[in-house]
Amino acid sequence: MASTMQLDIVSAEEEIFSGDVEFVVARATEGELGIMPRHAPLLAMLQPGEVRARRPGGEEQFFFVSGGMIEVQPKAVTILADTAMRAKDLDEAAAQEAKRRAEEAIRNRSGEMDYAQVQAELAAAAAQIRAIQSLRKHRGNK
């Protein structure tokens, strides 16, 4: 039997996932993390993007987080994000539209625009699109 750890993914609105997993992959600000049971304790900031978890039996679960924090303990991983959702619930058309709006706002800069906020929106939209494409790839629907 494979060794497992508890994974909890929580957004500001709700708990997205809670269960045993064999492996977690997430993108921190310093690079991609691969976490297995008995990993050394770690606290890191997450970039917007995909979180992948392998359940006992090999089933992979895909999630999108808008950024946030990841806490790793030897038997548990907790992800706290402003926004988190299952990758299958992402709306590709909405993400493409949000990306288009953010790019347009950057091109047409005005004095009242919060440039950092628009950049963050652009990064989140691009990360959602990458998560959707990754999910499609893993399912074999290229």
User: Do 96 and 67 reside in the same domain of the chain?
Assistant: no
Contact 94, 47 (CB under 8 A): no
| Predicted local distance difference test score (pLDDT) of residue 104 | 79
* pLDDT < 70 positions in the chain: 1-2, 87, 89-92, 110-113, 115, 135-136, 138-142
Whether the predicted model's global pTM rises above the 0.85 cut = no
Q: Which residues contact 8 (CB under 8 A, 6 or more apart)?
A: 15, 17, 18, 76, 77, 78, 79
Same domain, 15 and 79: yes
Task: Examine the domain organization and report whether 81 and 40 are in the same domain.
Answer: yes
pLDDT score recorded for residue 98: 73
Indicate the residue among 59, 87, 115 that finishes a domain.
87
Please tell me the predicted confidence (pLDDT) of residue 12. 86
The total number of structural domains that make up the chain: 2
Query: With 0-12 CB in 10 A as exposed, 13-18 as middle and 19+ as buried, what is 31?
Result: exposed
Residue partners of 111: CB distance under 8 A and separation at least 6: none
Same-domain status, 51 and 9:
yes
- Distance (Å, whole) CA 27 – CA 33: 6
pLDDT digits (tens, 9 = 90+) for 55-86: 999 999 989 898 899 999 999 999 999 888 88
Please report the pLDDT score of residue 139 as a whole number: 62
Write out the residue range of the structural domain in which residue 64 sits.
Answer: 5-87
